[in-house]
């Protein structure tokens, strides 16, 4: 492997763990991040000339620690910070074998970093960006591209998030067992928010931004690896894998939206579906509460689609029943909207329409409610009403590919 390829692999595989070790040692997020960035920059100069070291992450960790010490001295606080520069024996042993056997100290520090990035004091959008930056190692430039904002805007957003954590004295620690479920719920929301931004962007020219969705799946995978016995990360990862597995089939060669029944199922990622089904198998008998139950029900719905060989083999009554349970569990108007679609497939369009009656006040601005109204009215033979709803949906839709699809559906009505 070339020096450039080795460096890219080290960045992708080890950034979060190395940063977690440094934050755990120095208790300063800014110092740790700057030192690690400088270590990677130094590797771009040294590795091509001197060869790739036998243990790349250990080389990077040593280089980052040297830079951290240099900065502390430059800040004239070396004496006051000296206790933080000494790593206890256990921590030192884990650092020496970093990424060789994934020692418990490394894992604990990475978990602390995950929980810190998803601290409740941060807005979800800021927590999502900070988590992808620090835990997964997505660069600020790439984050700006993924979240569709200028790079200076993203840099400022990350800086504000870091300063907020520092100002609030956010603890670099693992919450108590009593508080961990609430913090995990925030972690799940952060990861799923980032995934949704890629899987179903509400605006812009793209129906799907698989790169952002993929990074969010990677973040969920890190959390699951750290907490494999916790049901929430397991259910969330299964859900995201099942949805992400369909990415190659959602857009046709002509750039048009391909609806789920019309997708080429041979293009779904069978390996990701298999992994998700294995994760679900460990949860179906569990008595889950709150967010974990919500993710599990959504994953079970996605699994029904994933395991149907053909669209006509889909068990719509089963999906409608799962949506009914999810509706009761969450009370979410978006869930009710999706439930209406499933009920229409299982019992006819009029049955689905009856579930939409009270959603206008809860979903007043988006395009998805009038789009579903229009489609079910069309199926029920109520073309005039369907045309009016299509017009509303088109006027509200900010995603170019979805809007073009709605315009074609309206044109089909004549």
Question: Residue 68 is part of a domain; what is its CATH number?
Answer: 1.10.1740
- Give the single-character DSSP code of 82: G
pLDDT tens, residue order, the chain (414 aa):
788 888 888 887 888 888 888 888 888 888 888 999 999 999 999 899 888 898 998 899 999 999 988 888 887 554 454 444 444 444 444 444 444 334 444 567 888 888 888 888 888 888 888 888 888 787 888 788 767 688 899 999 999 998 888 887 777 777 777 777 777 888 888 888 788 877 776 666 666 778 778 888 988 898 898 888 889 999 999 999 999 999 999 988 888 889 899 999 999 999 999 999 999 999 977 777 778 899 999 999 999 999 999 999 999 999 999 999 999 999 999 999 999 999 999 999 999 999 998 898 888 888 999 999 999 999 999 999 999 999 999 999 988 889 999 999 999 987
| C-alpha to C-alpha distance for 133 and 83, rounded to whole angstroms | 28
Q: Please say which residue of 72, 102, 132 terminates a domain.
A: 102
Q: Is residue 295 part of a domain?
A: no
Number of domains in the chain: 2
Reported pTM:
0.75
Computed from CA positions of residues 136, 141, 142, 143, in that sequence, does the dihedral angle turn out positive or negative?
positive
DSSP string for residues in 249-290: GSB-TTS-B--GGGS-GGGS-HHHHHHHHHHHHTTTTS---H
Q: How far is CA 330 from the centre of its chain?
A: 20
| C-alpha to C-alpha distance for 237 and 218, rounded to whole angstroms | 9
DSSP string for residues in 87-134: PPHHHHHHHHTTTTS--HHHHHHHHHHHHHHT-TTS-HHHHHHHHIII
Q: Is residue 278 part of a domain?
A: no
Structural domain that includes position 384: 365-414
Q: Please say which residue of 48, 74, 102 terminates a domain.
A: 102
Q: Is residue 67 part of a domain?
A: yes
| C-alpha to C-alpha distance for 390 and 403, rounded to whole angstroms | 10
Q: Please say which residue of 102, 130, 156 terminates a domain.
A: 102
Compute how many other C-beta atoms are within 10 angstroms of the C-beta atom of residue 251: 17
204 three-state secondary structure? strand
In the beta sheet, which residues pair with residue 399? 204
Q: Answer for the pair 102, 226: CB distance below 8 angstroms, yes or no.
A: no
- So what's the pLDDT on residue 202? 60
Q: Is residue 68 part of a domain?
A: yes
């Amino acid at each position: 492997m070339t020096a450039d390829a080795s460096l890219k692999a080290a960045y992708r595989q080890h950034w979060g763990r190395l940063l977690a070790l440094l934050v755990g040692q120095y208790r300063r997020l800014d110092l740790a991040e700057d030192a690690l960035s400088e270590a990677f920059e130094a590797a771009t100069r040294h590795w091509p000339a001197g060869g790739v070291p036998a243990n790349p992450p250990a080389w990077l960790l040593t280089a980052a620690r040297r830079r951290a010490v240099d900065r502390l001295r430059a800040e004239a606080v070396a004496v006051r910070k000296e206790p933080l520069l000494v790593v206890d024996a256990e921590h030192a042993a884990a650092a020496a074998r970093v990424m060789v056997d994934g020692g418990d100290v490394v894992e604990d520090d990475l978990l602390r970093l995950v929980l810190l990035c998803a601290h409740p004091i941060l807005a979800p959008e800021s927590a999502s960006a900070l988590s992808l930056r620090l835990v997964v190692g997505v660069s600020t430039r790439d984050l700006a591209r993924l979240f569709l904002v200028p790079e200076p805007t993203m840099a400022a957003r990350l800086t504000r998030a870091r300063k907020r954590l520092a100002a609030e004295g956010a603890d670099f620690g693992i919450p108590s067992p009593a508080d961990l479920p609430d913090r995990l719920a925030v972690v799940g929301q952060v990861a799923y928010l980032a995934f949704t931004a890629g899987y179903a962007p509400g605006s812009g020219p793209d129906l799907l931004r698989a790169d952002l969705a993929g990074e969010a799946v990677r973040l969920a995978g890190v959390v699951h690896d750290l907490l494999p016995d916790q049901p929430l990360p397991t259910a969330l990862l299964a859900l995201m894998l099942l949805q992400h597995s369909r990415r190659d089939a959602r857009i046709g060669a002509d750039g048009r939206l391909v609806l789920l029944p019309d997708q080429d199922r041979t293009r779904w990622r069978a390996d990701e579906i298999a992994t998700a089904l294995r994760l679900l198998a460990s949860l179906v008998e569990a008595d889950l509460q709150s967010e974990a139950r919500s993710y599990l029900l959504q994953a079970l719905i996605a699994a029904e689609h994933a395991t149907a060989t053909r669209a006509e083999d889909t068990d719509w009554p089963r999906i409608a029943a799962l949506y009914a349970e999810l509706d009761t569990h969450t009370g979410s108007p978006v869930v009710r909207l999706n439930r209406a679609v499933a009920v229409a497939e299982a019992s006819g369009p009029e049955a689905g329409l009856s579930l939409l009656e009270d959603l206008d006040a809860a979903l007043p601005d988006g395009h998805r409610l009038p789009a579903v109204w229009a489609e079910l009215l069309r199926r029920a033979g109520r073309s005039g009403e369907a045309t009016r709803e299509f017009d509303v949906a088109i006027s509200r839709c900010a995603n170019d590919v979805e809007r073009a699809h709605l315009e074609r559906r309206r044109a089909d009505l004549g």
